[in-house]
Each structure stands twice: as C-alpha cells, then as structure tokens.
Structure 1
C-alpha cells in the first residue's frame, strides 16, 4: 500500500492540493488532486497563508510529527478533531480525492470525513507565520 497521507500538510512543492476553502469557510474538495509546484506555492504565499485557504496533503511524517501517538501508532489530531466537532456521519460522504490514502480516514473512517470540511491549518504562532 502507498504511504498514508496527512490531510493537514503545509504548502510545499510536491504537496497535493485536494481542497479549497469557499466563501462560507468550508472546504470544497477537488475531484482530482493537484500536485503543486514551486511556482504555485510562491504565488499562493502572496496574501493570506495558503494553508488558511487551501487543503494540502503529503506523506504522513509519523514519528516526525508532533501529533504522532507512538503508543497507538497513529495521528492524535484526528481523534481530537472528531471528539471536538462531533459531527454526524452522512450516509453519503463528500467526494474526496485523497480518501483512499488518507491517514485520518484510515484511522477514524467516515467520522473523520464528517468532521474534515471545516479544517484549515493555521500556522501562525503569536501573530507570526511559522515555517516548517
């Protein structure tokens, strides 16, 4: 199986763009993912942080990520997200270009999808942008 993807990645060349925030703040998922290049990232960095407007995925970093729970061998963020948002699972899940390889879906199933479309990554700490 291919590596599982983190659906909360930063904008970087090689990342997969799979969603765009709409005017209501929800994520509209692309039917086909787009692998972004350096030009896209540079252009997207003009204005508001791209992570606050788009959803990117890249290979799950596992123990290289602060959200990795080695005891459960999984991402602790998705469990917190599902618990905090507690959205009901719809009978039909929205189209999602990364679901088959999504770390969150593999861990939490449809519950992850039900709570995913309002997630945008905020990489600002104390008003300063943080680079990763």
Structure 2
C-alpha cells in the first residue's frame, strides 16, 4: 500500500495541491491534485497571505517526524482535535476529494474527518530568533 497522505502539509515542491479556499472560508476541492513545483511555491509566497492559509496541500505523512504524531497511538493527533473542536457530523454523502483514498485523516476518523476538513487551513507563523 502507498504511504498515507497528510492533508495539512506545507507548500513545498512535490506537495499535492488538492483544495483552494473560497471567499466563504471553505475549501473547494480539485477534481485531481496538482503536484506543485518550486516556481509555484515561490510565486505563492509573494502574496500577503501564505499559501498554506489559502490552499490545501498533501504530502506523505511524516509520522514520527511530525509534532502531531502520537507514537503511543501510532496515529495523527491533529485530526482528532479538528473533529472534536469543529464537531461537524458526516452526512450521507461526502464531497468529492481527490486524496481521500490515501488520506491519513480519513483512514483514522472516517467520514467525520471529511465533514470537518473543508474549513481547515494552516496558519503558518514564523519567528526570528535573536542570536
């Protein structure tokens, strides 16, 4: 089986762009993911809002290389927090999603992950560290 994808990845070459935030703040999913290159990333970073705050990217789940990985449960802790905080219940029909079959969140939380996913964007903030 191919690696599961993190649906909350950063904009980086090789990441799959699978959703775009609309004017209402919800994610509109692409029919097919688009693998982004360095030119896309560089161009997207020239805007006031970071690409992670406007687009949804997926890349291979980093597991222990990610701060959201729970080694105790061998799972992503972020999706549980999202589902609990947003508390949207899945309807009978899920919106189409190009990464669902390989999505870490879907594999862990099923349809409830999908029901809460369309409002999620990353909030990337960087800090300069004085040396």
Alignment of 1:37 onto 2:37: yes
Alpha-carbon distance in structure 1 between the residues aligned to 2:83 and 2:124? 20
Alpha-carbon distance in structure 1 between the residues aligned to 2:111 and 2:89? 9
Alpha-carbon distance in structure 2 between the residues aligned to 1:11 and 1:56? 6
Alpha-carbon distance in structure 1 between the residues aligned to 2:2 and 2:118? 24
**TM-score when normalising by structure 2:** 0.94
Alpha-carbon distance in structure 2 between the residues aligned to 1:41 and 1:91? 36
Structure 1 unaligned blocks of 5 or more? none
Alpha-carbon distance in structure 2 between the residues aligned to 1:40 and 1:52? 15
Shift of 1:76: 0.2
Q: Determine the structure 1 residue equivalent to 2:72.
A: 71
The DSSP-based 3-state class of the residue aligned with 1:124 is: coil
User: Number of paired residues?
Assistant: 127
Alpha-carbon distance in structure 1 between the residues aligned to 2:99 and 2:113? 13
Alignment of 1:62 onto 2:63: yes
Task: Give every structure 1 segment of 4 or more consecutive aligned residues whose post-TM-superposition deviation is greater than 2 Å.
Answer: none
**CA root-mean-square deviation:** 1.1
**TM-score when normalising by structure 1:** 0.94
Q: Determine the structure 2 residue equivalent to 1:86.
A: 87
